[in-house]
Chains A and B, each alone.
Chain A
Amino acid sequence: MTTVTRRAPHQGVAPAPPRPPKLTWRQRLSNMDVKWSPYVYIAPFFVVFGVVGLFPLLYTSYLSLFDRDLLDLDGTYIGLGNYTELLRDSQFWNALVNTLSIFVLSTGPQIVVAVGLAALLNTRLRAPTGWRVGVLLPYVVSLVAVGIIFANLFGPNYGLVNGILELLGFDRVDWQSNRFFSHLAIATMVNWRWTGYNALIVLAAMKAIPKEIHEAALIDGASAVRRFFSVTLPLLRPTLIFVVITSTIGGLQIFTEPKLFDAMPGSNNGGSSNQFQTITLYMYQTGFETQRLGYASAVAWVLFLLIIVIAVINFLLTRRLASTGVEDDR
């Protein structure tokens, strides 16, 4: 047996396997159509993505290996030089801390309030559409308008917020130069704009929760609060993960708010001592003001990696938090 099988290929006398019947040109075309057409249909998206998404991404990583001035058409290759410099750059670390601080001050309260708001909107209200559109209104306002108006409100000398604080007997706050308060002011801007938007997404998910589960809980004697924490919240998990991840991506890329908040018009400094300069603002300044394209590209890549890391952490965290009460872990 073994000898036969071993010998067979060498001798090459074994009869050829039966050939499939020869396909006609049309049949082959039809096969090709079935195989390849779907790819052609989805191609436009990937072509456009490739040109405006993937290519810049890869080109940025290529650029980040060069020391290249904006007006200097070919730079010098310096390998990972930009990255090692970045790790020693105190302004970068300062921007990183600012970004994280503003991110925590905005995303955290924003999601808690959004869920609460959604729960309120989910109760029986008169003219529900009116309320829902109402919470979405800030989202419609142009970001630049929001920035300018809030920068005015938080003006240290003649701003409305300080005026009210003084009226209530508190001390004036220097919203510009105090690091923490400047972050708070910027986070307020972000929250004002995005809370309603997130509330609506959460509300849609709440509406999709089957009534039967709530009724069952009601019959078991669960209070409204208990039902919220043990039924609603766990079932919101996929939506919350979505909301957390999108606001992580947005929150770490905050740019317009700090740029417009700066008292010096058009400044990219993020305050007199960079006290509210975020990473994107620093990246922009490095690329288009200091004109160090290579270094700015390195900043962009580090920011990209950072967003992925934090998004994963948030994903894991949200999964754990929102699954309290329900055991099934699919």
Chain B
Amino acid sequence: MRSNQRRVFAGAIALAAAVGLTACGDSGADSGSGSGQIELSIGTFTEFGYEDLLKEYEDLHPNIKIVHHKTGQGGPYHQQLLTKLAANSGLEDVVAIEEGHLPDVLDKPHLFNNLAEIGPKDVKPERWLDWKYQAGTAKDGTWVGYGTDIGPLAMCYRKDLLDAAKMPSDEASVKAMFESWDSYFAAGDQYAKATGKAWFDSASQIFNAMQNQLDEGYVTKDNKLAIESNQDIKDNWDQVTAAAKGGQTAKLVAFSPEWNAGFKQGAFATKTCPSWMLGVVKEQAGPENAGKWAVTDAFPNGGGNWGGSFLAVPKQSQHPKEAAELAAWLTAPEQQVKAFEKTGNFPSQVEALDSPELLGSTNDYFGDVKVGQLFATMAKKVGKAQYKGPGDGKIQENATSPALQAVEAGKSPEEGWQQAVDAAKKIVK
């Protein structure tokens, strides 16, 4: 009897414990307590090169302890970021946000602290390239993110393949070839006719670069879909699909295993190359193709940017001021130059672009070209930040890119365009 009674009691406890366990989930990054010690957390993805810098910051600020959460891949990281923003808990004090995911975040500036208000007063927008600063600012003027790195665009090309096609491969002629999109596609046509091989890796890689050069993205400033109303987008589409149908595309989806194999096989002769792409080319093309790839500081119709990130302080943070100070320190030119030396992430700060460490850096895989100087030049060619409304990145990823892929697989350009428009309409209503 008594033991039964006890069992009932134990059962009740187990039940309560089960409920209690599920009730109190992870309360997320919390402040450290006692003796004025502050615990800050920072979330990054892939490689930001911050490990040593964070230790340095802790040494400089003995009252601050930093917890670094690293996620391997950008995709899952940003999905988590959005879910935790929605749940209004669990986010780090400082979060990294990649350019492509920024529009969704900038659409909800109220979830973030305005860095103009809480950030150190000596950190001015002039620290960054203007277009980078603009890109991190919401429509209502909230300064959401300090810029970390950028991905200025240049052109990579295979010297030996140009030679084989009996086309000029010296610096000056190549620059003329990459002067405008018209000259680029004309050269591509010549190359494709001479060799029967592809000029670029995939249509969407070219189209995205062209799209980014427009004044306005897929979504207008008042959040309306621009894909049908903006004739420039359609013109770009027609030009790219015509080139693709003319045999200029290798039809390799970027970053797929087949695309990797394409580098080894020499399946295409040119590649749009943001600064970080050099590492990808080297890794995929491998040592057997060393010395064949070259990069030049020319890009059709000026310049462009692909990639780069921002550091933001969400409203959920318990220590927004300290978090903003950390973010400001990390994105200072000196620190970003150190990160560049570590990972090759190209700094977005004006001063950093003139630092001797950056200007002196070379890349042996691309024939010892002075890459620092080259991409600094290209970074300054980027005119202004294109306004990207919410859904812009998704349209690129889920509307135009798949549609271009479908055109490469055999759909007519008009059918493909219709597919892209329909898909875009589903994304932005």
Contacts and interface: CB of A to CB of B under 8 A. Distances in A.
B405 A264 contact: yes
A272 B409 contact: yes
Nearest to A288: B79
A162 to B, nearest CB: 11
Contacts of A155: 256-258, 261
A73 B258 contact: no
A91 B426 contact: yes
Nearest to A265: B255
Interface stretch (A29-37, A137-145, A191-199, A229-237): A29-37
B419 interface: yes
Given A30-B4, A33-B8, A71 B85 contact: yes
Contacts of B11: 37, 40-41, 43
B410 A177 contact: yes
Contacts of A71: 82, 85-86, 104, 108, 111
A61 interface: no
B86 A152 contact: no
Contacts of A30: 1, 4
Interface string A1-33: 000000000000000000000000010011001
Interface stretch (B12-20, B123-131, B155-163, B275-283): B12-20
A48 B82 CA distance: 27
Nearest to B111: A71
A272 B85 contact: no
B252 interface: yes
A327 B280 CA distance: 67
A170 to B, nearest CB: 19
A90 to B, nearest CB: 9
Nearest to A156: B258
Given A33-B8, A263-B256, A70 B14 contact: no
Given A271-B402, A272-B403, A266 B14 contact: no
A43 B15 contact: yes
* Interface range for B: 35 or more
Given A29-B5, A176-B409, A263-B253, A291 B258 contact: no
B90 to A, nearest CB: 14
A179 B402 CA distance: 14
Given A157-B252, A157-B262, A152 B257 contact: yes
A48 B23 CA distance: 11
A289 interface: yes
Interface in B124-178: none
A55 B397 CA distance: 34
Contact of B83 (A70, A177, A268): A70
Given A73-B86, A91-B426, A174-B409, A269 B398 contact: yes
Nearest to B18: A47
Given A152-B257, A157-B258, 18 more contacts: A47-B15, A155-B258, A157-B261, A157-B267, A158-B261, A158-B262, A174-B409, A176-B409, A177-B410, A263-B256, A264-B256, A265-B256, A267-B398, A267-B402, A272-B409, A273-B402, A289-B394, A290-B394
Interface of A: 26, 29-30, 33, 36-37, 40-41, 43-44, 47-48, 51-52, 70-71, 73, 91, 148, 151-152, 155-159, 174, 176-177, 263-269, 271-274, 285, 288-291
